[in-house]
Structure 1
Amino acid sequence: MRKLILIFAIIWVSSSCKSTYTVTVYNLEPAPVVLAKDIKRIGIINEVGDRATSENIASLEALVKAADIKLSREGTEAALEGLLAELQKDKRFDTVMILSKTASLWERESNETKTIPWRDLKNLCLQNQLDAVFSLAFYQTDTRIMEKKSSMEELDMLRTRVVIPARELTLETLIENGWRIYDPFEEKVLDEIEVNEQVVTQAKGEDALNALRSMTDRADSLVSKSRGSGSAFGMRLKPSNKAVERQIYIKGSPLLVQAEQAVIDEDWLEAARLWQMDLNHEKPAIRAMACHNMAVLYEIKNDLDKALEWAIQARTHDDGKAHSQYLETLKTCASQKLQAEKQWEAIALLRK
Structure 2
Amino acid sequence: MYSINIYRFLLTASIAVAITLSSCSMRTVRIQATRPADVTLPSHVDTLLVLNRTYFSSQAVGIIEGLLTGELPGEDRAGTQAAINAFQSTINYSNRFVVKNAAEIFPGNSISRAFPEPISWGDIENLCSKYHTNAVMAIEIYDTDFIVTDGKRLVKKEITENGVKKTVETNEFYAKGVGNVTIGFRIYDPVNKVILDQQLITQSNTWETTANSAQDALAKLIAKSDAARYISQLAGNSYAYKIAPMPITLTRKYYKKGKNVASVATGSKQAEVNDWAAALETWKGSLLQSTSDKDAARICYNMAVAHEVLGNLEDAKLWANKAYVEYGSKKAKKYSAILDGRIYDQNRVNEQYK
- TM-score class, shorter-chain normalisation, is 0.5 to 0.7
**Residues 110-140 of structure 1: per-residue CA shift (max 9 Å, x gap):** xx9933334x432432554565331334554
User: Which residue does the alignment assign to 1:350?
Assistant: none
Whole-angstrom distance in 1 between the partners of 2:216 and 2:310: 52
Q: TM-score, normalised by structure 2?
A: 0.58
- 2:135 is aligned with 1:132: yes
In the alignment, structure 2 segments of 5+ residues that lack a partner are 57-61, 158-167
- In structure 1, what residue type is equivalent to 2:137? F
Partner residue in 1 for 2:305: 296
Counterpart of 1:37? 44
How much is the aligned-residue C-alpha RMSD, in angstroms? 5.6
Supply the distance in 2 between the matched residues of 1:196 and 1:134 (Cα, whole angstroms). 17
Identity of counterpart residues, as a percentage?
18
Higher strand share: 2
Work out whether residues 76 and 139 of structure 1, in 8 Å CA contact, stay in contact via their aligned partners in 2: no
Query: What is the SS of the residue equivalent to 1:201?
Result: strand
- The answer to whether the aligner puts 1:284 opposite 2:293 as a matched pair is yes
Task: Provide the aligned length of Structure 1 versus Structure 2.
Answer: 314
Residue 80 (str. 1) matches residue 84 (str. 2): yes
Q: What pairs with 1:6-45 in structure 2 (closer than 5 Å)?
A: 14-18=15-19, 25-31=31-37, 32-37=39-44, 42-45=49-52
Partner SS, residue 120 of structure 2: helix
**Which of the residues 311, 317, 322 maps onto 2:320?**
311
AA paired with 1:102?
P
Out of 180, 189, 193, which is 2:195 matched to?
Answer: 189
AA in 1 matched with 2:120: L
Q: 1:183: how far off?
A: 2.8
Aligned-pair CA distance for 1:25 = 3.8
Report Cα offsets for 1:289-346 as digits up to 9, x if no partner: 44224423553565647645643542453467763563464366357547746866x6
8 Å CA contact 1:138, 1:178 repeated in 2: yes
Is the alpha carbon distance of 1:250 and 1:84 closer, same or farther for their aligned partners in structure 2, counting shifts above 3 Å? closer
SS of equivalent to 1:44: strand
Deviations 1:148-205 (A, max 9, x none): 44589xxxxxxxxxx9853344556565545331336645331345555554434221
CA shift for structure 1 position 78 = 0.7
The answer to whether structure 1 residue 241 and structure 2 residue 247 are counterparts is yes
Contact 2:187 2:195 in 1 (8 A): yes
User: More deviation in 207-216 or 167-176?
Assistant: 167-176
Secondary structure of the structure 1 residue equivalent to 2:297: helix
Is residue 230 of structure 2 the alignment partner of residue 227 of structure 1? no
Secondary structure of the equivalent of 2:44?
A: coil
Match of 1:155 in 2: none
Q: Which runs of 5+ in 1 are unaligned?
A: 56-64, 153-162, 347-352
Equivalent in the alignment of 1:157: none
Cα deviations across residues 186-237 of structure 1 (Å, max 9, x unaligned)? 4533134555555443422123442232134886576345335425534655
Paired position in structure 2 for 1:166: 172
Structure-1 residue corresponding to 2:108: 103
Distance of 1:241 and 1:45 partners within structure 2: 27
CA distance in 2, matches of 1:34, 1:219: 34
Deviations along 1:83-129, one digit per CA (max 9) or x if unpaired, are 3566799796595315424127x78xxxx9933334x4324325545
Deviation, 1:286, is 4.8
Give me the whole-angstrom Cα distance separating, in 2, the residues matched to 1:41 and 1:281.
Answer: 56
Q: Do the aligned residues in 2 keep the contact of 1:138 with 1:179 (CA within 8 Å)?
A: no
Q: Could you report, residue by residue, the CA deviation over 1:232-284 in whole angstroms, capped at 9, with x for unpaired residues?
A: 534655442234455657999699xxx9xx99xx7888xx79x9598555542
Alpha-carbon distance in structure 1 between the residues aligned to 2:149 and 2:256: 45
Structure 1 contact 48–138 (Cα < 8 Å) conserved: no
SS in structure 2 of the partner of residue 37 of structure 1 = coil
CA contact (8 A) 1:180 1:189 kept: yes
Alignment partners' CA distance in 1, 2:127 and 2:74: 30
Contact 2:50 2:99 (C-alpha < 8 Å) held by counterparts? no
Structure 1 residues 187 and 202 mapped into 2: Cα distance closer, same or farther (>3 Å)? same
Written as runs of structure 1 = structure 2, the 5 A alignment for 1:325-340 is: 326-327=335-336, 329-330=338-339, 333-334=342-343, 336-337=345-346, 340=349
Q: After superposing the two structures, state which structure 1 stretch, 317-326 or 196-205, moved more.
A: 317-326
**How many angstroms apart in 1 are the aligned matches of 2:182 and 2:299?**
45
